[in-house]
Structure formats: C-alpha cells, structure tokens
Structure 1
C-alpha cells in the first residue's frame, strides 16, 4: 500500500469561487446573523442569560470528538453530584473547553486573534485531560493523519499538510483572518475549513476550529458578543461536515463546503434566535415571579444565580446570591421550590447540601425535555 501524500493547502484568500452562485447564501447568512445579534443586544446581561447555552456548546463540540457527557451531567457535577468514572474524564474535557472559550473571549477585548492566542487557548483545552501528552500549546513538528484508531498512515482518510509547510500556511491563515475586505460570514467559513485542513495541533483541532467561529465573527464586528455557536448543527450533520471538508482537499470543492456551512449558519442562527428569545422571556417571567413571591432585596441576585448555574447546591446558591446567612437562603429556596420554580434533585444531609435544578432553563438550553417540568404556580 502506497504512502498517501500530505495535503497541499490552497492559498488564501481564495481566488476562483463561483461568486454568482454563492452570494445569495452569503446574503441570507448575514441577514440571519444580524437578526440573531439584534436579539443578543436586547438582553440585559447576555453573559448570565447565555451561560447555559455556552455550556451546551462545549458539550456538543466535545461530543463531535467522542465525549458522551450531557449538559445536565456537566451541571450536576459542577454542583457537587458524584458522577460516574466513565463520565468524569468527559466532563473535565468539557470544562476545559469552557475555560478555553473564556480565555479567548477575554483576550479579544484587547488583542486580535493570533497564532499566539490560539496556542494559549489550546494549552488550556488539553490541560490535564486526554491529549495532555500531545504538546498542548505547541504546533506540531511532525506528520499527523486522520483515520480509524490504530490504523497506520497508509490507511489514513486524510493526511494534513507537511510540517515543512505548516508554519508558512498558518502565517497566511493569520493574515487572512485579519483582512477587513472579505465578507465576514464567508471569511469565517473559509477560516474554519482552512484551520481544520491545516490541523496544526496533535489533538484538539476540531474543538479549536469550532471555537474560532464566533471569535472571527466578533472580530469582524458581525456580532456584538462572541456568542454564536454552530456545534449543534455540525454535530447533527457530522458526516456531511467531514465529507464537505474532505471535498475541499480531495476535489478543491470549496463551493460545496461554503454551501454547507452557510446553510448551517442560517439554520443555526434561526435556532439560536428562538432559544435566546425563550431564555429572555423565561428570565423576565422568573424575575417578576420571584419579586412578587419574595419581596426580597435578594430577588434579582437569586434569579441571576439560577440562570448562571441552573443546577446548584444550597451552599453555592447562598454565596452566588449574596445572602448574609444560610437560614435566609434556605427559606428562599423553600419558597421557590414550593412555587415549582425550582426542583430539589438531592436532599441535604449533615454537611452535604441539598442540590436544586431549574428545569425550564435546562430544557431550553438542551433543546429537549431532560427534566420533567411542573407548571410553576406564578410563571
């Protein structure tokens, strides 16, 4: 069996796209993204309200790479529920993803996307988890390949570019994402695909590449916050996702890739828009209910605590909401549970605190009924 040759990446920017065919999709993608961003800008505190969606993106992007943990399992582990050993490693990977996203988002406040920043994010992604032995934070210096686990390079489905050309290709990629003359959604589609083709790390390339989607859109000011997540669409269409990327390297079919990605952006923008609207509406309704129910100075902090951490222990809740003493916090929790706004998923015992969940928010974030909902008395 002959050794497959490493891929030769196309130069950026691309010079021979079929513009007449692709422009209508580019226009629709921009319009859908603008509608979604318009909704983002109406949120009183997008970091709090979108916290569960951000967590779910980490779950779905990691799932594409083989993890099995679900959003509710991640949130339960964060709240202190003991998780199975088979899920523990998955949850650590997902939490690393969330931390890496936070690093990237914070950095974009004062610096552009650079290869240096990407290495920093990658180092966090693989810190102490599967792949930690694969030079976190460093671009590869040897040849890698993609195929079934254990297969030799001769059976590879895809062989990324040689390390001899990798650095120059990465420099060209960095220059490309810094351009302001390219349409933002088209630039994002090309940048994501090219990053996956270059496969510059020994592990974690897919997750870093998907993380870059909202970051590039934000850098190009197509988003007011770097919060547009496509892993739900890409995970649902996983086979097409990989096939379209291979279509570029096997047949230079950029048109097929761009059609797939832009259509996905349109569908995901509409899905995200509906999800964010539902979360915003739930936030407003919950806020009114908690104020009417408790007449408490802590009411707003209480609501924010459950939106930030939809599964939370009584101890963490008291700290997050700023209660001066635990008795007052526990009284508040009993009121919320009595009105069916929250539900208890573990009883407290001794020094072990009770754990509570906010079912309606978790179900919106996951897009399906994970927790049984009982209609709240006041919502």
Structure 2
C-alpha cells in the first residue's frame, strides 16, 4: 500500500445539497448549548466534571480502562495496580493538555503547529508512548494495521514523512482560514489531521482535543467546553470506518454528515447535562447553607463541584478553609440530609475519602437519563 496523498483544502468535491439540512440542525443545536454556557458564571468549576469525562472517554477510545471515579480516587490518594495507574496517568496527561489548550485559546492566541507540539509533549509524558518522540512530528513512515503487519498489509499508510511538513502547513492554513460553514470545517480539520497522522502516537487524542478549541476560536462556543468523545466512543466502529472511507473512496460527504450528526447528538445531550449540573449547583448551595449556616458556603460548593471525590486535607487546600473549620463543616455535610458520603473509611494514618454522588451520577448520565 502506498502512502496516502491528502486532498487539497478547501475541498472541491462536496455535495452541499446533501449537507445543508444537517448543517442548519447542527448549528442550531450548538448555538443552544453555547447560549447555555454564557449563563454560567464560573464554567471552569461547574463544568469540570465534563472535562474529566472527556479526558476519560477520549483516552478510552485509545484503549485505557480507567473511569472518572478511579481518576478522582487516585487524586484523593487511592492507589491502584500498575496497569490501572498507567491508564490513569494517560487520562491526567490528556486533561492537563486540554486545560492548557483551553487557556491558550482563551487568551486569544491562534491554534498553531507549535501548540500541537507542546500538547503532544504533555500527552506522552511518563506514559506508554513516551519513547515515541513526544513533542515532535514524525520523521519516519508509519502505518496502521494488525500488530506486526507489513506496510503492504496495512489498512492505512499515512503520508510520506518528507511531505508531511508541507501537508501540515496547508492544514494549518485551512484551519485558520474560512470555509462555507464552520462546523463542516471542523469536521474537515479533524479528519485531515487524523489522516495526516503527524505523530508516532497520540494522534487521535490530539485530533479530538482540537474540536472544541477550533469551535471556540471561531466564535461558535462561548467557552471551549464542547467535547465529542462521548459520541465518538459510542460510535467508535463507524468513526473509524468513516475516516477509512475518506482515504479509500474520497467520501468526505459521508464523514461530514456523521460528524454533524455527532454535534447534534452531543449538543443536545450536553444541554441536558449542563442544565442538570446547574440545577444541582443551586440545590447544593441551598442545602449547604441550610446545614452549616457557614460564610464559607460558596467555597464549599465550588470545591465540591471542582472535584467530587476528595480527602479533607486536599479539600482544605483547594477551598482555602482551615482544616479545623473544615472538619466541622464536613461532619455537618456528611449526614442523611447532606450532599456527601464517605466513599472509603480512613484507617490508621490513611484519611477517609469522601464523595459527592449526585454530581458523579450526572457525569455518568444516570440522572440525565432518568428524567
């Protein structure tokens, strides 16, 4: 199999008649979600559960098995076996890269190739793939297929590494330019990046991370918190098939339709989820105020939403409430009427680990699905 030769951008072969209905539907769904985000005073805190979920799901597509709860338990001091720890570290790296990228775009800086190198460096730090040139575009020919297969047996061979810099420059120019519709352009940006396969490892995660950054940079999101990995994980087989149809048949229309449908599904799901989070935030604020009568109500609630599994010492540090005061407040919140439970009882020098189950249920979609 010969190396793939990317189609020039912008594409000249699209059937706009096939796409126009979905383009309108996707833009309307995303606009509703973006409008909802505008009403949130502190989206970084309130929507941090969505960021954690994205880090888990995008990494899961690549084979990691850790859950949101396990990641949060790890951060609260719980230890797991070596394989699980490695999965958790990959997820933490992804989350770190995602947050850094959001800050970068939030400062009004463009998406650049140098940003991608920086994110890739973070993604592969101290995890599987750390020997695969973190922070560097590939200089070797690689291919995708069954373990141990030859290039002739591969299911896909990315572009020649000697031509990769030229292809990346063209992709970057397209990304920072304009096309007939921004959401369709986002579909092309993501797929072309995956087909260029510019890194030796981590291409899928970087490509998915680019989606909210691109939409935010183009003004389609009021906050760079729209993650498509839940849809892509649910439809993983079709996701890979649609990308394969581009490389083998040039079927860009089918890919863009799949991507736009994903935006509609994910935006509607996110609207339900964010409304559930906002309602829970207000209910929790009222409960905490009623149970504690504390002047620290807002700090307690924000810290709970930022990390819903925690140790008291870490909670004290993040909330800036003294340990002595906090221990009394946690006792008041850990009652049958209170929002928190003890997930794991402390023993000896090991402290208790607390959880905020209502927020974790929303992260997993349990409360949303029940309504």
**TM-score normalised by length of structure 1:** 0.94
CA contact (8 A) 1:60 1:232 kept: yes
Measured after TM superposition, the shift of residue 164 of structure 1 is: 2.0
1:57 equivalent in alignment to 2:54: yes
Q: Which residue pairs with 1:372 in the alignment?
A: none
User: Structure 1 CA distance, aligned partners of 2:28 and 2:157?
Assistant: 36
1:76 equivalent in alignment to 2:107: no
Measured after TM superposition, the shift of residue 260 of structure 1 is: 0.6
Greater Cα offset, 238-247 or 289-298: 289-298
2:163 counterpart SS class: helix
1:164 counterpart SS class: coil
1:37 equivalent in alignment to 2:34: yes
CA contact (8 A) 1:180 1:220 kept: no
1:239 equivalent in alignment to 2:237: yes
Q: Which residue pairs with 2:166 in the alignment?
A: 168
Q: Which residue pairs with 1:47 in the alignment?
A: 44
2:100 maps to which of 96, 103, 109: 103
Q: Specify every segment of 5 or more residues in structure 1 that has no aligned partner in the other structure, as ranges.
A: 370-379
Q: Which residue pairs with 1:249 in the alignment?
A: 247
Measured after TM superposition, the shift of residue 150 of structure 1 is: 2.3
User: Structure 2 CA distance, aligned partners of 1:320 and 1:117?
Assistant: 29
Match runs of 1:11-22 below 5 Å: 11-22=8-19
User: Structure 1 CA distance, aligned partners of 2:151 and 2:92?
Assistant: 32
Measured after TM superposition, the shift of residue 350 of structure 1 is: 4.2
Q: Which residue pairs with 2:258 in the alignment?
A: 260
User: Structure 1 CA distance, aligned partners of 2:108 and 2:252?
Assistant: 33
Match runs of 1:122-133 below 5 Å: 122-133=120-131
User: Structure 1 CA distance, aligned partners of 2:60 and 2:315?
Assistant: 29
User: Structure 2 CA distance, aligned partners of 1:149 and 1:164?
Assistant: 25
Q: Which residue pairs with 1:331 in the alignment?
A: 328
User: Structure 2 CA distance, aligned partners of 1:160 and 1:220?
Assistant: 28
CA contact (8 A) 2:179 2:185 kept: no
Greater Cα offset, 150-159 or 265-274: 150-159
Match runs of 1:1-379 below 5 Å: 4-108=1-105, 109-324=107-322, 326-338=323-335, 339-368=337-366
The CA RMSD measured in Å over matched residues stands at 1.1
User: Structure 1 CA distance, aligned partners of 2:231 and 2:91?
Assistant: 18
CA contact (8 A) 2:344 2:352 kept: yes
Measured after TM superposition, the shift of residue 181 of structure 1 is: 4.5
1:221 counterpart SS class: coil
Greater Cα offset, 149-158 or 191-200: 149-158
Q: Deviations over 1:204-235 (max 9, x none)?
A: 00000000000000110000111100000000
1:161 counterpart SS class: coil
CA contact (8 A) 2:121 2:135 kept: yes
CA contact (8 A) 1:298 1:322 kept: no
Q: Specify every segment of 5 or more residues in structure 2 that has no aligned partner in the other structure, as ranges.
A: none
2:34 counterpart SS class: helix
Measured after TM superposition, the shift of residue 180 of structure 1 is: 3.4
**TM-score normalised by length of structure 2:** 0.96
2:3 counterpart SS class: coil
CA contact (8 A) 2:10 2:179 kept: no
CA contact (8 A) 2:291 2:338 kept: no
2:158 counterpart SS class: coil
User: Structure 1 CA distance, aligned partners of 2:180 and 2:210?
Assistant: 17
